[in-house]
Amino acid sequence: MNRARENRVSPATLPPPEWWPEAAQALLLAQGYAELPEEPTPNPEPLDGLIRLILAQQNTWAVAQRQWEALRAAYPRWELALVAEPETLKRCCGLLGADWPGPNRAPSGAYCTNWPSGEASLRWLQRLDDAQARAELEALPGVGRRSASLLLLFHLARPAAAVDGNIERVLWRLEVVPPTWPAAKQEQWLEGVLPLDTAYRAAFHRAGVRHGREVCTRRSPDCPSCVLNRWCPSAELFMAAGPPAVETD
């Protein structure tokens, strides 16, 4: 597909290949998510999930976990964090600082405060439908479509289709979406080709992330053992280059 045509194609008009359902099922089977996929449990406080996502996007999981624990210990109620000085937050977890919505930073109220109660919370999102909840999330400072999708799927238990770097790489190598598409368009495409089922979409996301980390790695992917290699145009090229090197990340 040439660049001009890629720019004309929309997620809604790009059909999946005939083999897509079989490939998706093979991925779920290989990663152990095909049998009785687990339904995500709504987070009693979605703001907790959003803050953890912000931390995880900029750090390894281990570092993000330590930062989360430091924040929680220092601020058992998020209202306390809202009025904290940015430098205090930086010292607490080494992140967020300038991006944290302090009391003088509009739109801090829209970010996490349920007016008129004054409670720092995103529980009000649970009363909205999927489209409304997404619109409200993407209107928050520093929250893009990817973060909104992850929060919707895993913390609000809505049937969103979330794409991370691992899934993005798998989709590109399978050539089911144009390589020029950003993650937002890829998510929109997945919305149309995955069953409208929260448990299935959560399982697909987990399987895709694990597959990208363990098999379809950035460098020297393990194509011979990949369950998707018969559909993947990239597999022949990688296998011709020789056995994969051991990756440490």
Domain of residue 142: give its range.
46-154
Amino acid identity, residue 176?
V
> Looking at 121-237, which runs of residues are DSSP E strands?
none
Tell me: do 150 and 51 sit in the same domain: yes
66 and 130 both lie in a single domain: yes
Q: What is the pLDDT of residue 100?
A: 47
Domain CATH for 115: 1.10.340.30
In a domain, 249, yes or no: no
**pTM beyond 0.85:** no
Assess whether 62 and 8 both reside in one domain: no
CATH code (residue 184): 1.10.1670.10
Query: Quick check: is 28 in a domain?
Result: yes
Final residue of a domain: which of 154, 178, 202?
154
pLDDT at residue 6, rounded to an integer: 56
**Residue 75 placed within a domain:** yes
Q: Are residues 60 and 135 in the same domain?
A: yes
Token pair, residue 49, equals 């999930």
> Is residue 107 situated within a structural domain?
yes
Domain boundary among 131, 154, 177: 154
Same domain, 50 and 117: yes
The reply to whether 71 and 146 lie within a common domain is: yes
Long-range contacts of 180-188 (CB under 8 A, 24+ apart): 180/3, 180/6, 180/7, 181/6, 181/11, 183/145, 183/146, 184/144, 184/145, 184/146, 185/10, 185/11, 186/11, 187/145, 187/146, 187/149, 187/160, 187/161, 187/162, 187/163, 188/11, 188/12
- Give the separation between CA 123 and CA 44, rounded to whole angstroms: 7
Residue 248: is its pLDDT beyond 70?
no
Domain match, 28 and 61 both:
no
Assess if residue 145 is contained within a domain.
Answer: yes
Q: How many structural domains compose the chain?
A: 2
Query: pLDDT (tens digit, 9 = 90+) per residue, 48-94?
Result: 998 888 888 777 778 888 888 888 888 888 878 777 776 777 777 66
| Max CA pair span of the chain | 63
Q: What amino acid occupies position 1?
A: M
Residues 25 and 57 in one domain: no
pLDDT in tens, 185-241: 999 999 999 999 999 999 999 999 999 999 999 988 999 999 999 999 999 888 887
- Write down which residue in 127, 154, 181 finishes a domain: 154
Alpha carbon separation from 121 to 5, 48, 50, 231 (Å, rounded): 44, 9, 11, 45
Q: Residues 138, 176: one domain?
A: no
Average pLDDT over residues 31-54: 87
* Together in a domain, 53 and 27: no
- With the CA atoms of 191, 195, 198 and 204 taken in that order, what torsion angle do they form, in degrees rounded to the nearest 10? -80
Residue 246 in domain: no
**Within a domain: 212:** yes
Please check whether residues 230 and 173 belong to one and the same domain. Answer: yes
248 within some domain? no
Q: Are residues 61 and 121 in the same domain?
A: yes
